[in-house]
Structure 1
Amino acid sequence: MIPTLETERLRLRMQTMDDWPAYARLMMSERAAFMEGPHTMAEAWGLFCHDLAQWPLLGCGGLMFDDRETGECLGQVGINHGPLFPEHELGWMVYPGAEGKGYAFEAASALRDWAYGERGLKTLVSHIDPENHRSRKLAERLGAELELDPDRPGPEVLVYRHKI
């Protein structure tokens, strides 16, 4: 049920416990500021479990992405849904040292295409903090457009709609 996707440089795959230490470090650091962080270890653990638990419950969730040549985990991309999200939401995070190399674009493009193709979703948005300029640029590079009056989880986020 959890897909494995491949791009030219990346393998998107189910998370494992081996992914927990790097995930926790990121989520408990200042780098998580645009994801309502930094988080406590308990909160980070809850988010980590949430990313995996969504797959059997909702048919979507988080996928870690690795460099296909080295096997190094570079970050995570995911589709969130459920009672906290008005509609399916595409998100991403990149680990330190992997930013600025196009990995998030490549991973998010692959998951977006899977979501609209194999999964058959009709809508997909990204919720982005107004101050997160890098994510806003990435959403626009992915072809998403800023919505002016969207349904959103809170007034503090911008909603970018991805085209089919």
Structure 2
Amino acid sequence: MTVIPTLETERLCLRPMTIEDWPQHERLMGSDRSQFMGGPTPRHVIWGIFSHDIAHWVLFGHGALMVDDKTTGKTVGQVGLNHGSLFPEHELGWFLYDGFEGHGYALEAAQRMRKWAFEELGLKTLVSYIDPKNERSRKLAERMGAVIDPDAERHDPVDLVYRHPAL
């Protein structure tokens, strides 16, 4: 049986997804906010993405975790590791729900997930595939020390591949 971890930072709890996360996830992926993640998408595709994020744990031993603010208890977004046929390398990805930008949540969650990926999973490489127009994600990757790798393989030829430094 796959054990999905709960990771923590000073302010955040990164926890396994539950069905209670579905409505907020559905709203995001059906809205224009999901434009850099292939959206907005129809409901049946959103369900597939939601299920995919959970299935990764069984298939690969890693996947997505929801990000909760410990003080308020609110779910502010998601951070995760992707792999498989659409991801030539292990990918670190993140998103925030509307209204939670500008508080450092994505950076804090992504740094914690990256640390877990290198230290606990023993990954040797980690990248983030980012749409060139997604300035916020590009800046976050750069704050984490990731640099563009123009030679890296990518599923979407438009994406920039940011390579994260090993810890």
Partner of 1:160: 162
Report the counterpart of residue 63 of structure 1 in structure 2.
65
Q: How does 1:114-125 map to 2 (within 5 A)?
A: 114-125=116-127
Number of the residue aligned with 2:99:
97
TM-score between the two structures when normalised by the length of structure 1: 0.98
Whole-Å separation in 1 of the counterparts to 2:148 and 2:135? 13
Alignment match of 1:47 (pick from 46, 49, 53): 49
CA drift of 1:51 comes to 0.3
Structure 1 counterpart of 2:9, which letter?
T
Q: Secondary structure at the match of 2:73?
A: coil
Identity level (%): 60
* Alignment-derived partner of residue 138 in structure 1: 140
Deviations 1:16-66 (A, max 9, x none): 011000010000000000001001111111000000000011011100000
Shift of 1:154: 1.8
Counterpart of 2:88 in 1: which secondary structure?
Answer: coil
**Residue 69 of structure 1: CA displacement?**
1.5
Query: Which amino acid in structure 2 is aligned with residue 23 of structure 1?
Result: H
Shift of 1:149: 1.6
| SS state at 1:87 partner | strand
CA shift at 1:117, angstroms?
Answer: 0.2
Which structure 1 segments of 5+ residues have no match? none
Aligned equivalents of 1:48, 1:98: Cα separation in 2 = 20
2:108 aligned residue: 106
1:148, CA displacement in angstroms?
A: 1.6
Distance 2:129 2:49 in 1: 16
1:126 aligned counterpart, secondary structure: strand
Q: How does 1:67-82 map to 2 (within 5 A)?
A: 67-82=69-84
1:11 to 9, 13, 28: 13
Distance in 1 (CA, whole Å) between partners of 2:144 and 2:25 is 24
In structure 2, distance between residues paired with 1:107 and 1:131: 22
Q: Give the alignment's TM-score, normalised by structure 2.
A: 0.97
Give 1:150 deviation, angstroms. 1.2
Q: Secondary structure at the match of 1:140?
A: helix
Q: Distance in 2 between matches of 1:97 and 1:56?
A: 32
Q: 2:37 aligns with which of 35, 38, 49?
A: 35
For residues 49 and 87 of structure 2, the distance between their equivalents in structure 1, rounded to whole angstroms, comes to: 14
Cα separation, 1, equivalents of 2:144 and 2:49 = 25
